[in-house]
Amino acid sequence: MEEQRQLSSPEMAKFQLKDTIEALLKFTLTLSIEESLDLGLSKEFCSNLLKDDEDDSTYPSSTSNPDLSEGVPPYPLYKHLASALCKSISNRAIHSIKANIPLIHEDSSMKQKEHEWNKIILEKGSDLVNMLETVGFGLHVQEPFFSQIKDGKKTIEGRCAGGDYNRIESGSLVLFNKCLLLQVHDVHYYASFSDMLATEDLAKVLPGVKTVEEGVEIYRRFYSEEKERENGVLAIFLTKPTSQLYDHLVAILEALHYEGVTRLLGISHTVGTIPDALPLPRSSLLSAFSTPHNPNVKTSILSDGARALAKHVNRSDGKFWGSFAGNESHKNMLALNVINHLVAHCRWINAHIIPPHGPVFEIRVHDGYGARWALNPPKFIGFLEPYMEDGHARGWKH
């Protein structure tokens, strides 16, 4: 028999948006990918928001509450987006997280769009928070049971009675896995799981299970016989309410569309910005940066990034680029330190079309220094000096 996994008592504390928005956004994007609802965003776009970056060693995936003020957002992007949405709803206006860079001007149409976004965030964000306040209990359900509840196949949830479970009653609103809202329309008490499974419709309690004995074995993974005898068993009858929390999130995302979503991810919008382009994974940025500059020369290990840095070290009086000396291995390390600083501390991000390179991903820190990669596939183009009048004529020295 599998090791027993104890099911915790239902959550009863007042539910906060900051504690549920991440799971709710992930669930909403998944429903969109499954075509269960329409966000007006492509499947590929939604899938990329959920995609992880397993090769990113600079930002642990378990980290919560990421700093939204600087840096290329880490994957999965939906976590960063969830935090930005939460701040926007709390502040009743779209969250602006990046700094303006001198001589780089944003698309003039963005002001009007922000005004429209703020209206929907205020309206639907308030509706979302108000609905969350009506939730009485929170339960976590493992797969495949959660999907069965979502799809309406499982409409009876069996739990050991006792504690806060005894507070659940007809009319209670229960939030499953912090994202799916269901209403209790009845609760039946039984002495044991075998009694419950023999009396209720087995297909509605445990879809796919053929016998009472098989069903009891499933519950035994979570509850001991002693706990079952001590507390008894509840059959909680569930129904879907007419409105879900994600309905309000759908309205927000639909209104934001590509430009609003990418803005919450920190992307600036200028002439040439690609509306549905997302920030590149950090691992892809660093991998492209570290590509050997002379792959056909066996004795050379100099990276593309280090070769690019050699062109910039003497252009800044403030020595932003640092020193650049030593053998090729040491130069690679110095260059990697520079790019890691830019990736971690950039305050301006854009995915736009720049002649002659075409689509590029560009980052800059507050002072205007930055770096640029070609998109699809990622290829490091070079470092960037701050924008300045007559920059080319002055050799970008400042």
Q: What is the CATH number of the domain that holds 215?
A: 2.30.130.30
Summarize the confidence of residues 229-243 as an average pLDDT.
97
For the cut 70, the answer to whether the pLDDT of residue 287 exceeds it is yes
Same domain, 23 and 53: yes
Q: What is the CA radius of gyration of the chain?
A: 27
Same domain, 160 and 122: no
Dist CA 381 CA 362 (whole Å): 10
For the cut 50, the answer to whether the pLDDT of residue 393 exceeds it is no
pLDDT at 56: 80
Residue 271 in domain: no
Residue 148 DSSP symbol = H
Share of the chain above pLDDT 90, in %: 79
Summarize the confidence of residues 221-230 as an average pLDDT.
95
58 or 397, higher pLDDT: 58
CA torsion sign, 317 to 322 to 325 to 331? negative
Enclosing domain of residue 379 = 282-384
Same domain, 234 and 305: no
Residue 39 in domain: yes
pLDDT at 96: 72
Alpha carbon 299 to its chain centroid, in Å, reads 43
157 or 95, higher pLDDT: 157
Burial tier of 264 (Cβ tally within 10 Å: 0-12, 13-18, 19+): buried
pLDDT at 7: 60
pLDDT at 3: 41
Same domain, 21 and 127: yes
Same domain, 166 and 183: yes
Residue 277 in domain: no
pLDDT at 170: 97
Q: Name which of 39-48, 63-72, 347-356 the model is least confident about.
A: 63-72
Residue 299 in domain: yes
pLDDT at 363: 97
Q: Name which of 112-126, 180-194, 312-326 the model is least confident about.
A: 312-326
Same domain, 125 and 255: yes
Same domain, 56 and 151: no
Same domain, 151 and 179: yes
pLDDT at 104: 72
Summarize the confidence of residues 152-177 as an average pLDDT.
96
What's the pTM? 0.91
Q: Name which of 44-48, 62-66, 267-271, 290-294 the model is least confident about.
A: 62-66
Closest listed residue to residue 371, CA positions, set 393, 341, 333: 341
Dist CA 143 CA 157 (whole Å): 13
Residue 57 in domain: yes
Summarize the confidence of residues 24-47 as an average pLDDT.
98
Distances in whole angstroms, Cα of residue 128 to Cα of each of 33, 80, 123, 294: 22, 19, 9, 55
Summarize the confidence of residues 291-316 as an average pLDDT.
90
Phi, then psi, of 156 in degrees rounded to 5: -130, 125
Same domain, 129 and 251: yes
Residue-wise pLDDT for 332-388, tens only, equals 999 999 999 999 999 999 999 999 999 999 999 999 999 999 999 999 999 999 986
Same domain, 121 and 259: yes
pLDDT at 108: 78
Same domain, 127 and 145: no
At 322, the amino acid letter reads G
Share of the chain above pLDDT 70, in %: 89
For the cut 60, the answer to whether the pLDDT of residue 37 exceeds it is yes
Q: Name which of 61-75, 286-300, 314-328, 383-397 the model is least confident about.
A: 383-397
Summarize the confidence of residues 166-170 as an average pLDDT.
95
Contact 388, 380 (CB under 8 A): no
- Domain final residue, candidates 194, 211, 242: 242
Q: Name which of 4-8, 144-148, 254-258, 306-310 the model is least confident about.
A: 4-8
Residue 292 DSSP symbol = B
Residue 1 in domain: no
Burial tier of 64 (Cβ tally within 10 Å: 0-12, 13-18, 19+): exposed
Mean pLDDT, all residues of the chain: 91
Tally of structural domains, the chain: 3
Residue 390 in domain: no
Same domain, 107 and 158: no
pLDDT at 12: 65
Residue 276 in domain: no
